[in-house]
Structures are given as C-alpha cells and as structure tokens.
C-alpha cells in the first residue's frame, strides 16, 4: 500500500527519516512531500535516497526550472493514489492551515485534495501546543476525521520540558497501520442504538487557588474507548477531566475538573445511557477545606483529607434496568484479588483491570494490557495499542448483552430512542 509522509518545518523533521524506515519495514510504499521550511532542516535528497521516489517540495517544480503543467497538477495524482497521508512533524502553522483550508503549498493542497485518511503527529513548543488557537484547530481537524497522534512529554529543543515533542515512531506507525486496516476492513456498526456514557482522564482536587491533588492519568484509554464506540455506531457522551487530548470526532464532549464536577455530569447524563464505561481516574480524596488564598511556603503543612464520592457505586445503584456498567481499576500489587473485590463491592457488570506496575503500558503510554473481569469470568487482553484494546473491551461488553437480551436490534434501538426522549 502507498503511504505519503508529509514533513513540515520543525526541529523534529529529522525524525521523519526514522518514520520512513519504520513504515518501509511494514512493507509499505512510502512517498515524501516536504514544505519549503522542512527543506531547511533536512535535505530532500535524504528522503529520495531512502524511498527511491522523487520528493515533492513545491507546486511549481524546482526554483531553477520553468513552471510546468505536470508540476502544477501533481498534487491531484498524489492525492488520488495514496492510501493514507501522515504528517510528522505537524507544526502549529501547518495545523492552522489544514484547519482553515489554506492551500498555499503542495502539502496543504494535497491535504484538501485527498480522500484518503489523514494522520497528523504534532510537534512544537509546549506553550504553542497549549495555546487556545492550536487546541481549537485540533478540535476542528478531529471533527473532520483527522486522526491526531498526541505529542509526548519531555525535553524540547527550546530548552523547555513539557508536552510538545513528536510522539514515538512506533506509536505513529501503529496508528497508521490501524487506519489502513480499517480502510480495508468494513466498519462494524454493532453498537448502533446504544448510548455510551464514558469517562476519561484524571480529576483535580483544589488545595488552594494554585495547587491541587491529581494523578498521572493521560486520558488516552478513555478517549480511545469513546472513539471506538462512536466508530461502531454508538451515540457517545464523553465526560473528561483535564487532558492534553483533542476530543474524538463525533462524540458529545463534557469537560470537568474536580471529582464532584464529574459526579454531577455523570449522574446528570446517566438516564440517557445504555452502557456506562468508567475509565476516568477519579481522585479518592480531596482537601476538606481548600484554602481561599495561596498557601505560603513553609517547612511542613498538614492536609486534612476527606473521601470523594464513589461515583461507580452511585451509578450502579441509580442505573435503569438493562444499563450495563463497566468500571476500571489500576492496581500495583495483588491486582487480581483487588480487582475482583472492587467488582463485587461496586456491583458493576464488568471491570477492566490494569496492572500499572508493568513497564511500558498504562499511564502516558499509547499501549496497554488488561484483564476483563465479570463475576463469573476472567479474560486476559494482551498488550496492544490502546485503540485496539478499546475495541477488544467493547467486544466483551457486546458479549455481555447477548446472553441476557431477548430483544432484536430493532427493539434495542427503540429502547435507546425512548431514553433519549425522556
């Protein structure tokens, strides 16, 4: 299959050579398109030598040649023949031009002209990544079904430490392969008629106006579940804590910060749900009396904590008959014992158990492994991308429907529709 790699002008442009090699290792035919700025970081000859194909750098051919018709329409041929367009790195400037439909060079023109799936892997300064304009552009692209591979967190070329570095090459390749696989495999619509209420990310509990108690949750697993459920035909309501992720396309997005805000949002939308998936990492404790002003630094302070509301237990108690509830648990030791105990105490139909002590998976990673527990069964889900794991989890959730249901799909759709009207 043909893959077109777009390279824009950021310091991470040199990593695109690694991406080309990694894609070739998957037996893909890789072509490269570069912006003029990208050629300031890496010479086109590098990519030509790697791919064996001409590298396209402009709409009008080379600077020392006369403009010609072949160069002017080359983007149409490239757009129609590629199976996927992957842009890595994608700068803030390029994301803005994609989002607003500007076509002032070959790569942006190619983006508008291709019917193929598009994947972008942003890389930029942390402040640029967090800027409201960049985040708005990402939401626009996500709504247009552009797949976004979030940047990693670490040391940046500008000297800062934070989000903005290009995602790991293996993670980008995995997304590309998943998109290609979905292109050749007919999409499943087995969740049509369901309303999935999903939670994701961590909550923040205020200590004072500046500080908070939080956790390491990236939200990636919950977002992957929301995206997968929407792709399989469900109506999806995603209640999310603060993350660095763009909301998946086609979902109803509810932003919250604290555990109490998440509780109110989940219980408020619960009557609409036929499936609840509680993937958020909700704080177990919060300061009993948050300070009204910033607490000044001193040798030691003592925080008086109180437990937060048990949202999962409240959901299982308040749900309508027939609503499936799936909880999550992150454990570091004796995880099977603690997971099954939590499942039975909360009264959920199933629990996705993560052993977060394992290296390379879980928090901040694009990969995960889990055990899908029900009161009667234990199903091991081996390590895979979080997007693939999301589909495996939904497969097991669908299986919970079959034994208990005596309704055909038409009746299920009717039930979901009546709930939405209430």
Number of H helices, E strands in the chain: 15, 19
SS3 content of the chain, % helix, strand, coil (to 5): 40, 25, 40
| Region at 162 (left for phi over 0; alpha for psi -120 to 50; beta for the rest) | left
Dihedral angle computed from the Cα positions of residues 227, 232, 236 and 240, in that order, rounded to the nearest 10 degrees: -20
Q: Of the residues 96, 158, 160, 264, which is catalytic?
A: 158
53 burial class (0-12, 13-18, 19+ CB within 10 angstroms)?
middle
360 is catalytic: no
User: 3-state class of 19 per DSSP?
Assistant: helix
Which element (helix H / strand E) includes 306?
strand 305-307
Tell me the residue length of the chain. 422
Q: How many CB atoms lie under 10 A from the CB of residue 67?
A: 12
* Nearest residue to 363 via CA among 156, 188, 179, 222: 222
Distance CA 20, CA 3 (A): 9
- 305-307/285-287 β-pairing: antiparallel
Q: CA angle 319-322-323, nearest 5°? A: 45
Q: How far apart are the first and last CA of the chain?
A: 48
Cα 334 from Cα 416, distance rounded (Å): 39
CA dihedral defined by 279, 314, 204, 283, rounded to 10 degrees? Answer: -80
Give the count of beta carbons closer than 10 Å to the beta carbon of residue 43: 13
Which residues are designated catalytic? Answer: 158
């Amino acid at each position: 299959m043909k893959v077109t790699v777009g390279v824009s002008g950021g310091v991470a442009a040199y990593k695109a050579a690694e991406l080309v090699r990694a894609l070739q290792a998957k037996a893909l035919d890789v072509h490269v398109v570069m912006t003029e700025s990208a050629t300031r970081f890496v010479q086109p000859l590098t990519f030509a030598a790697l791919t064996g194909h001409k590298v396209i750098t402009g709409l009008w051919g080379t600077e020392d040649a006369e403009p010609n018709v072949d160069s002017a329409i080359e983007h149409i041929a490239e757009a129609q023949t590629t199976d996927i367009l992957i842009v890595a790195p994608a700068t803030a400037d390029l994301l803005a031009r994609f989002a607003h439909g500007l076509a002032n060079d070959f790569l942006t023109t190619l983006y508008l002209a291709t019917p193929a799936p598009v994947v972008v892997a942003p890389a930029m300064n942390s402040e640029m990544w967090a800027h409201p304009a960049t985040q708005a552009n990402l939401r626009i692209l996500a709504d247009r079904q552009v797949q976004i591979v979030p940047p990693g967190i670490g040391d940046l070329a500008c000297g800062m430490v934070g989000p903005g570095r290009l995602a790991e090459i293996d993670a980008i390749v995995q997304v590309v392969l998943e998109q290609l696989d979905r292109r050749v495999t007919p999409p499943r619509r087995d969740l049509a008629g369901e309303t999935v209420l999903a939670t994701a990310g961590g909550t923040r509990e205020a200590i004072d106006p500046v500080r908070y108690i939080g956790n390491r949750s990236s939200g990636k697993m919950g977002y992957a579940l929301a995206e997968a459920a929407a792709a399989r035909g469900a109506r999806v309501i995603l209640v999310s804590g603060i993350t660095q992720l763009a909301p998946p396309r086609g979902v109803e997005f509810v932003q919250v910060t604290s555990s109490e805000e998440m509780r109110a949002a989940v219980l408020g939308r619960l009557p609409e749900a036929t499936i609840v998936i509680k993937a958020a990492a909700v704080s177990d404790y919060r300061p009993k009396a948050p300070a009204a002003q910033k607490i000044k630094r001193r040798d030691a302070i003592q925080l008086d904590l109180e437990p937060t509301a048990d949202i999962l237990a409240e959901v299982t108690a308040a749900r309508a008959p027939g609503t499936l509830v799936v909880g999550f648990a992150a454990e570091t030791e004796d995880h099977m014992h603690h997971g099954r105990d939590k499942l039975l105490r909360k009264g959920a139909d199933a629990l996705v158990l993560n052993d977060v002590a394992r290296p390379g998976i879980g928090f901040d990673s694009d990969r995960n492994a889990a055990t899908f527990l029900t009161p009667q069964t234990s199903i091991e889900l081996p390590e895979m991308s979080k997007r693939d794991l999301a589909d495996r989890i939904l497969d097991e959730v669908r299986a919970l429907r079959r034994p208990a249901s005596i309704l055909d799909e038409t009746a299920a759709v009717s039930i979901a529709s009546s709930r939405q009207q209430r």
